[in-house]
A and B are shown apart, each in its own frame.
Chain A
Amino acid sequence: MRTAAAIVALAVLHAAPAGAQSSAWTDRGYAAINGFYQPSTSFTDLIRPTAFGEAAQVDTRYGIAAVPGVDAAAGVRVWRNLAIGVDVGFLTKSGGGSVSAQMPHPFYFNRPRAVTGDASGLTRSETAVNVEALVMLPVRPHWQAALFGGPTWFTVNQDLVTNVTLAESYPYDTASLAGTTSARQARGKAGFNVGGDVAYMLRPHVGIGADVRFTRARIALTDTATVTAGGAHIGGGLRLRF
């Protein structure tokens, strides 16, 4: 079953100055609450648990569906149009995977049985702390644009299939997948983020905007499972300037 994930991220938010048509950015800082949509991703894991005294082979393809959500950000202007900020994003999703396994026979060596099926309830959560340098580009009255980028610290929690349970009966020459067992793996790793934002200021300190952000890190959860954290997302939401 798929469940919607919530995303909260901090994104670029311009505090539009009173004279927005000026190229100078005079606000002290920015904040934003932003909804976004992160495209789907997948990864595979091949494990060899022991079953009936022999190594099994369980190949799982995990699918992380596209997730809508929000994010939030805040920063302060440190020099001219340059600001330093922090964006924090979090997503969680209960996903699944397709399992293809070769399971040993209980009585005979080297007579594996092919088993296929789906694994469900495999939760993926991902926290991204993006430290960003932001350059604000007031382009027209009421309109602002910004470019940003910087390092990201990702923390990924992922449920990984550790074994399968079989529906089988004598003579055990065939079996079907009855379920999977899983364990949560958590790892953190540094990556990067880069993106841009466009805002329309409805009032001097309040506006709406849209952004595009690309974040990425490759994280080895186990010896056999490596995931890609982050990705390209498109979002939009409230922009605040102060």
Chain B
Amino acid sequence: MSDTLRSFRCMAIAACAALVPAASSAQGRPTALAATRADVSALRAADDLVEGLARSRALRIRASQSDPLVGGRRHERFDQFHRGVRIVGGDVARQSGSDGTVSVFGMIHSGLDIDVDPALPAERGREAIASAVSGRWFGGDAPELVVLPLPDGYHLAYGGQAIAGLEILTVYVDANSGRLLQQYSDFQREIGTGKGTYGDDKKVSARAASGTFLADDPMRPAAITTYDMKGSLARTTAILNRVSGVTMSDIGADTDNVWNDPTVVDAHVYAGWYYDYLFKRFGRRGLDGNNLRMAILTHPVRLEDIASAPPDVVGLYYVNAFFCGTCGPDGRGAVTFGEGAPRNFFPGVEVKPFSASFDVVAHELTHGVTATSARLNGFPYSEAGALNEAFSDIFGASAGFFQLPAGTAPVTAGYLLGRDLTVPSGLLARSMSNPASTRDPDFYAQRNIGGDPHFNGVIVTHAFYLAIEGGTNRTSGLSVAGVGAANRDQIEKAFFRALTSLLPSNSTFALTRQATIQSASDLYGAGSPAERAITQAWDAVGVQPRTAPSAALLPNPAPPSTASCAGGVLNPHWVLGITVSAGASSLQVTQWTFDLFDRAGALQDHLVLDAPTFAQFFGQCGPGSSRLLAQSDACTAICTDLNGDTSGAALVTITATDEAGRSVTFSTPRTVLAPR
């Protein structure tokens, strides 16, 4: 036993967010709502809860709109408040029809006992936000006072934006002490390479002004303006950070309306095409449904300066594209497209400007849709971040299929997102059809919790692909009867409606499964091919309804590791990732055990660990607490040996208490520790 204990060594699966423990209220608990007419009593209970909270002003309507895709349906989005202070991540999306409530999805926090009178005045909170990230205040006049749920409880916090280096961060500080509680980047990035255009003819909707033509679309209902930063990083950051307003001279221009800057042409035209896609496919008017203006920034840097540019500038303004919801003119969002990289800056590769790939442009603009609808958050380790990227990939590719012929040549549509960014093509792409081909996961258990959301999101995009095209998932072996490419609009609408009308900000893959199935049922009927295809697709990628808690010990089988594990771990040894997932109920972990078996299957070691140890181990890649929120995950990685044995198996068992006070126990499958 002691040998086994000694062999445990925590390893970080991925970098963690800045999480600093602070004074908090341990009371209160979150409850995930995912009720549909499939369970009428649960739906009635959820509806009653929403009604009651709305009457008491604990829920307040943020948005209410008719469903553009299903006649007679209405969607309301509520934010939750505690004594008049908004609870971050506490929100509900309710769908109703003429015959009553249809579905309720969201997260409600109850039992809070937290004082909402901050010790710090707002001005001090604003200063604390800036200093916490060694940056500069970037929000409005005052920070927002919020209740911030964190794994260690609820905090009264000030939240706002700050500029730190090249990034704009959302920052939460303790409203009593000013200590940093949480930060994450507001930039939605896309990694890639690319340069120039592919010589295809496009029509530029321009505005004539003072003897020249401006890349300012006068024909679509939403203002679409493409700015030419002329390679000035200083000007770019000044506009993004709202230090400086834009002027007419910042707008891309051409003297004779025969445009010769392919970067500006691509960016401007593709933004218009994306607007058209939203309108024609979904009846949505622009990013927010109300013709929010689109601001596109091109040429943020000069290509010839790349060799002398710092790595962070290369990574952000050359080989990247990003959406920032609080940047740009009037602070209502902007997309910036990197300049690319000349051939052989990366050996053998030319990186095109990031506006050269329509699916990438559509991907970034979809972040604008998400930011104004589900607001899938950017908290590290949440699945919402991966969903945010997944929806952007999904509608990036779908917009491509809507506007372009399918194919593999440049400027055609396909399931290889970002294919046109590089020459040779596809070097920075993500494959929705065959994720393994781009080293991305195609099954839920392959996700990297806390890792790159673009990577994890491919599980969702692969499900989307399967629901349309059908096929067999390579990992699970499960087959999906897709609706067929001719009916792709059905799957697109089901997913889009889930994103814009049903999902709350703290969504998980499991909740997205429920919401997309519900959406398909609403649109095409229960048992329809679309609903069936989506259900099968989620099954195939291993995303199941998460009503019960679960745990996974991966990989299985696990090959011996060559990693160096400190603490006298013997050879051979194995590195294993453990994921613990709460279901519909939050969990308080009371005990966990780690069992090792020899090659004959006999128990070799049985390690019993307590709740503090759980918090210690899983804090590096999860909540850092023995308390696990509903629908959330905790994870860690361990290095273990078998006392010199060359093969065997391992098993983890979790014992916890759920919200109802019941004791629940669940285990991972037995994972094979494979021989060398």
Interface residues of A (CB under 8 A from B): 52-54, 105-109, 170-173
Contact = CB atoms under 8 A, between A and B. Distances in A.
Contacts of B273: 107
A54 B202 CA distance: 11
Given A107-B272, A107-B273, A107-B276, A170 B205 contact: no
A170 B203 contact: no
B269 to A, nearest CB: 8
A206 B60 CA distance: 101
B220 A109 contact: no
Contact of B203 (A109, A171, A173): A109
A167 to B, nearest CB: 15
Given A106-B219, A107-B272, A107-B273, A171 B279 contact: yes
A171 B205 contact: no
A106 B280 contact: no
Interface in B175-209: 201-203, 205
A108 B402 CA distance: 13
Given A170-B219, A170-B220, A172-B219, A109 B201 contact: yes
B279 A107 contact: no
B201 A171 contact: no
B311 interface: no
B557 interface: no
A165 to B, nearest CB: 16
A108 B269 CA distance: 10
Contact of A170 (B201, B202, B221, B269): B221
Given A171-B276, A171-B279, A106 B205 contact: yes
A173 B201 CA distance: 19
Contacts of A173: 280
Q: Give 8 closest A-B pairs by Cβ, nearest first.
A: A107-B203, A170-B221, A53-B203, A109-B201, A171-B279, A171-B276, A170-B220, A106-B219
A171 B280 contact: yes
Interface string B254-282: 00000000000000010011001001100
Contacts of A54: 203
Nearest to A110: B201
B203 A106 contact: yes
Nearest to B257: A53
Nearest to B258: A53
A52 B257 CA distance: 11
A223 to B, nearest CB: 26
Interface of B: 201-203, 205, 219-221, 269, 272-273, 276, 279-280
A56 to B, nearest CB: 14
Contacts of A109: 201-203
A105 B220 CA distance: 13
> Quick one: which of B201, B202, B219, B280 has the most chain A CB within 10 A?
B219
27 contacts: A52-B203, A53-B203, A54-B203, A105-B203, A106-B203, A106-B205, A106-B219, A107-B203, A107-B205, A107-B219, A107-B269, A107-B272, A107-B273, A107-B276, A108-B203, A109-B201, A109-B202, A109-B203, A170-B219, A170-B220, A170-B221, A170-B279, A171-B276, A171-B279, A171-B280, A172-B219, A173-B280
A92 B240 CA distance: 66
B431 to A, nearest CB: 28
Contacts of B272: 107
Secondary structure type dominating chain A contacts:
loop
A107 B268 CA distance: 11
> Quick one: which of A54, A108, A109 has the most chain B CB within 10 A?
A108
Contacts of B203: 52-54, 105-109
A170 B283 CA distance: 12
Contacts of A107: 203, 205, 219, 269, 272-273, 276
A51 to B, nearest CB: 11
A5 B672 CA distance: 100
Given A52-B203, A107-B205, A173-B280, 8 more contacts: A106-B203, A107-B272, A108-B203, A109-B203, A170-B219, A170-B220, A170-B279, A171-B280
Nearest to A105: B203
B207 to A, nearest CB: 13
A54 B276 CA distance: 20
A171 B220 CA distance: 8
Nearest to A172: B219
B401 to A, nearest CB: 15
Contacts of B205: 106-107
Nearest to A168: B219
A170 B269 CA distance: 16
A191 B42 CA distance: 91
Contacts of B269: 107
A196 B272 CA distance: 69
A108 B202 CA distance: 7
Nearest to A53: B203
A108 B280 CA distance: 14
Nearest to B204: A53
B611 to A, nearest CB: 58
A172 B218 CA distance: 13
A107 B218 CA distance: 12
Nearest to A106: B219
A160 to B, nearest CB: 28
Contacts of B202: 109
Contacts of B220: 170
A110 to B, nearest CB: 10
A156 to B, nearest CB: 38
A142 to B, nearest CB: 76
B466 to A, nearest CB: 31
A68 B126 CA distance: 89
Nearest to B201: A109
Contacts of A170: 219-221, 279
Contacts of A108: 203
B355 to A, nearest CB: 17
Contacts of B201: 109
A52 B201 CA distance: 13
Nearest to B219: A106
A105 B269 CA distance: 14
> Quick one: which of B202, B203, B276 has the most chain A CB within 10 A?
B203
A129 B280 CA distance: 60
Contacts of A106: 203, 205, 219
Nearest to B279: A171
A170 B280 CA distance: 10
A108 B220 CA distance: 13
A103 to B, nearest CB: 14
A107 B275 CA distance: 12
Nearest to B403: A108
B234 to A, nearest CB: 34
A123 B219 CA distance: 35
Contacts of A172: 219
A173 B272 CA distance: 14
A109 B201 CA distance: 8
A218 to B, nearest CB: 40
B441 to A, nearest CB: 37
> Quick one: which of A52, A107, A109, A170 has the most chain B CB within 10 A?
A107
A54 B201 CA distance: 11
Contacts of A105: 203
B69 to A, nearest CB: 17
A141 to B, nearest CB: 80
A53 B203 CA distance: 7
Nearest to B276: A171
Nearest to A107: B203
A160 B280 CA distance: 37
Nearest to B280: A171
A107 B271 CA distance: 11
A53 B269 CA distance: 14
A171 B202 CA distance: 17
Contacts of B221: 170
> Quick one: which of A52, A53, A105, A172 has the most chain B CB within 10 A?
A53
Contacts of B219: 106-107, 170, 172
A170 B272 CA distance: 12
B225 to A, nearest CB: 16
B489 to A, nearest CB: 16
